[in-house]
Amino acid sequence: MTALSARMLTRSRSLGPGAGPRGCREEPGPLRRREAAAARKSHSPVKRPRKAQRLRVAYEGSDSEKGEGAEPLKVPVWEPQDWQQQLVNIRAMRNKKDAPVDHLGTEHCYDSSAPPKVRRYQVLLSLMLSSQTKDQVTAGAMQRLRARGLTVDSILQTDDATLGKLIYPVGFWRSKVKYIKQTSAILQQHYGGDIPASVAELVALPGVGPKMAHLAMAVAWGTVSGIAVDTHVHRIANRLRWTKKATKSPEETRAALEEWLPSPHPHRELWHEINGLLVGFGQQTCLPVHPRCHACLNQALCPAAQGL
């Protein structure tokens, strides 16, 4: 080996792995690249990006903007204080079902053996007679009418004087004679002797109000369309403060109750129950004059009782 070769070999070994003649040097491996990058970064200040704060905004979009899993915004709903316990107590006081409405009400005034169309007509007629009238008086009038065969045709063939005698002494019996005749004629001409199957069509009939329409839907058609509010329900709802503010009419009370009283299935049956429950309670305990607060389980929970 010559002296020149020996010097080249010694220089090659002193440079370490990867060293060689200029132009033939190996590229550094991954580990060396990371080390080199770390060294360069150590000489410059580190700038960390600021984390953007996302502001969550709740909004209600259109149906097309909502995804399948989107949940609707929950709006707080007002409800009366202690209403559930008050309802439990009223149910307990009504468990015997011995009020006049329980055996003389609309559900008990029609002929159960009559054809469906006739039964529905008799339900509507009993509701028309019941306005401003005690259940006992309504039941007596219906019994006299049924004894003569109570159908649309039989009513239209009865003269006004005879019809008045049959329904007397129901409240406003003269006006009811006129309304019954007019409504019966409309049912014969436009509904084939049957009654309409919607609240809107029912209230369009002479002498038929919202309470009658909702009860007719429930009893005649088996459909719960709303809360039937009469003077008893109107009075008791205001005494218990079941309305957000005092109401002046049964129809105003109905709208106020339906705003908060649970209605989605399976709770909508409460809309049907509330009428018979409170009517009987009003007939026996929560009387219009001199209510029997001493015998009421809600005495400590009733705002009206505190002032008596």
Phi-psi region of 112 (alpha: psi -120 to 50; beta: other; left: phi over 0): alpha
Nearest Cα to Cα of residue 245 among 33, 177, 305, 237: 237
Residue 66: C-alpha distances to residues 51, 57, 245, 264 (Å): 28, 15, 35, 22
For 105-132, give one letter per residue: b (16+ CB within 10 A) or e. bbbebbeeebeebbbbbbbbbbbbbbbe
DSSP state string for 71-120: PPP-------TTHHHHHHHHHHHTTT--SHHHHHSGGGSS-TTS-HHHHH
Amino acid code (one letter) for 235: R
State the catalytic residue, choosing from 66, 211, 245, 248.
211
Of 202, 198, 228, the C-alpha closest to 214 is 228
5 token code pair: 């070769």
Asked whether 247 and 256 are in contact (CB, 8 A), the reply is yes
Neighbours of 168 (CB within 10 A): 15
Annotated catalytic residue 117: no
Contacts of 71 (CB under 8 A, 6+ apart): none
Q: Any idea which residues carry the catalytic annotation?
A: 211
